[in-house]
Amino acid sequence: MRIDAIILARGGSKGIPKKNIINFCGKPLVFWTIKQCLASKKISNVWVSSDSDEILEISKNYGAQVIKRPHKISGDTDSSESAWIHAINFIESESVNRKIKIDYVVAPQVTSPIREAVDFDDSIEQIINDNSDSLLSVTSIEDFFIWKKLDGKNPESVNYNYKDRKPRQQIDKRYVENGSFYIFKPFVLKENNNRLGGAISFFIMDKHKMFQIDDVEDIKLSSLIMKGFELDYL
């Protein structure tokens, strides 16, 4: 079975300039996702897709294979799906003479570095055992209450009735899509233009692994978590 990791790492970023290669725990941010994928026992190949020559060179130096992503699918409004489809087509076209086809794609997010190689191994084992077509990483949030603010009106509770607040033990368990990674069969992506489809599995991760780097404040918070749980080993 061939399982390829395809890491998307655009050069542009509005919130944090060159976000995918900022210094995080002493290394470029993209390093941690490459390292985790390479350390996986079940991932066959590790690819980085980017429009940035600098990111591609850094990724190559850390052991990843690279794919130059066209600028026309590298903008702020371009979907990750378009980049994954481009990468899959590139990989399969390069492999046509060897008649190799990808069985599953592991699609990790660079901005979610708080994870371990075993997370990939366990989730791959799960999607195979479940005979699922796609999988998303999630975190349990059974005591997480969501509100929305309405213009000119009282705020409104979304996922519970604040007038009938139940004890924690009686609250149904819910899960938040944490964005750390996805796994899917290529046909799911190509037929639906969506990373999720067919039979879908959840992979439940520890709460401390749900944090993402979206703004400058997240860098310090995530680095403290990374070091606190001793996940910053090289």
CB 120 within 8 A of CB 106: yes
Residues 6 or more apart whose CB falls under 8 angstroms from that of 89 comprise none
Chain position carrying tokens 């149904």: 172
CB 180 within 8 A of CB 137: yes
- The most distant pair of C-alpha atoms in the chain lies apart, rounded to whole Å, by 64
Pairing of strands 45-50, 65-68: parallel
* Cα 72 versus chain centre, distance: 22
Alpha-carbon span 184 to 103, nearest angstrom: 9
Residue length of the chain: 234
3-state helix/strand/coil string of 71-101: HHHCCCCCCHHHHHHHHHHHHHHHCHHHCCC
Out of 165, 168, 174, 195, the active site residue is 165
- Is residue 174 part of the annotated active site? The answer reads no
Which residues are annotated as catalytic?
A: 165
